[in-house]
Amino acid sequence: MTSLHDRTALITGGSKGIGRGIAAAMAAAGARVVVNYGHDRRAAEETVAAIGDRAVAVQGDVGDAADVRRMFDTAGPVDILVNNAAVFSFQPIGDVTEKEFRRQYDTNVLGPFLTIQEYLRQAPERGGSIINVTTAGVDTNNPGSALYTSTKAALTSLTRIAAQEFGPKGIRVNAIAPGATETEGAAALGVLDSGAMAARSVFGRAGTPADIGPVAVFLASEDARWITGEVVHASGGFR
Ligand SMILES: NC(=O)c1ccc[n+]([C@@H]2O[C@H](COP(=O)([O-])OP(=O)(O)OC[C@H]3O[C@@H](n4cnc5c(N)ncnc54)[C@H](OP(=O)(O)O)[C@@H]3O)[C@@H](O)[C@H]2O)c1
């Protein structure tokens, strides 16, 4: 069985949705998990309690450099960094406000840059793994998704270039691209309500965080030692 024994994983936005699924799967594979959250402390505490004594919660805004440094100081040495935290909303290009643009780019793009820079400062000698959560939407060009999807396209480029830069240090960098997935964030926006998004999976249902967690475990593990710079679609065939 794939093991993350003796590894510490920091999962940004690990308190809810896909991040929680990844945190739970990594803990089940033996990792110590650091569950980052933005503002909802209660959800983070519930997630940590459900995972058990392999998990701790750490508050911090990924778009704030001082918060990111404090997060890593609290976490101790991190082997596996999962950039999962993101915010999203959908609107035509003409309706994108400067405020919403900055909110999404600060969290979804600046955030991973800051966490990756901090990870590098303390990078493990034995190498490590960075996993960025993007979206299958990068390849589907859905009208109304330009702002959000462009943040994930930026994260996709960051993934591929970081893989080239960090390879010599033994650090692999990959991305997971989920399709429509049942999470708190998706429910709040009602994006799954019509059933249209779920129908785009060849299995006729939306994904769940439990579908994504094992993919992250694999990418973080020694079994994936020859895989870097890749985007793995975990989307039930949604393309
Ligand atoms: N759900 C989908 O259908 C879907 C599809 C494709 C890709 N994705 C991607 O999957 C990832 C997770 O999405 P999700 O649907 O699981 O989201 P979610 O249910 O809305 O959960 C978001 C998580 O991120 C945290 N967060 C938000 N802003 C933060 C910040 N500035 N600093 C630190 N943490 C922050 C939240 O914590 P607080 O609530 O405490 O702030 C929460 O833990 C995202 O990257 C998203 O783009 C989702």
Cβ–ligand 1 distance for 82 under 6 Å, the answer: no
Q: Read off the pLDDT band of 36 (50, 70, 90).
A: very high
Cα–Cα dist 107/207, whole Å: 23
Cα–Cα dist 125/170, whole Å: 8
| Cα of 155 from ligand 1 centre, angstroms | 14
Residue ranges in the chain assigned as alpha helix (H): 17-28, 41-51, 65-75, 98-105, 111-121, 146-166, 184-189, 209-220
Atom 34 in ligand 1: which residue has the minimum CA distance? 38
Question: Would the pLDDT of 155 be above 90?
Answer: yes
Cα–Cα dist 144/129, whole Å: 33
Q: Tell me which CATH code domain 8-234 carries.
A: 3.40.50.720
Cβ–ligand 1 distance for 40 under 6 Å, the answer: yes
Tens digits of per-residue pLDDT, 184-229?
Answer: 999 999 989 998 888 899 999 999 999 999 999 999 999 999 999 9
| Cα of 125 from ligand 1 centre, angstroms | 30
Atom 1 in ligand 1: which residue has the minimum CA distance? 181
Q: At what angle do helices 146-166 and 111-121 cross, to 10 degrees?
A: 20
Cβ–ligand 1 distance for 233 under 6 Å, the answer: no
Tens digits of per-residue pLDDT, 82-137?
Answer: 999 999 999 999 999 999 999 999 999 999 999 999 999 998 899 999 999 999 99
Of residues 31, 32, 27, 35, the one with CA closest to residue 11: 35
Overall average pLDDT of the 10-28 stretch: 98
SS in 3 state form for 180-232?
CECCHHHHHHCCCCCCCCHHHCCCCCCECHHHHHHHHHHHHCHHHCCCCCCEE
Q: What is the pTM of this model?
A: 0.98
Atom 36 in ligand 1: which residue has the minimum CA distance? 13
Assess contact for 215 and 232: CB atoms under 8 A: yes
Cβ–ligand 1 distance for 86 under 6 Å, the answer: yes
| Cα of 83 from ligand 1 centre, angstroms | 10
First to last CA, the chain: 30
Please give the single-letter amino acid code of residue 51: I
Residue 197: the pLDDT is: 87
Cβ–ligand 1 distance for 175 under 6 Å, the answer: no
Atom 12 in ligand 1: which residue has the minimum CA distance? 18
Asked about 148 being catalytic, the answer comes back as yes
Residue 28, Cβ density class (10 Å: 0-12 exposed, 13-18 middle, ≥19 buried):
middle
Overall average pLDDT of the 26-37 stretch: 98
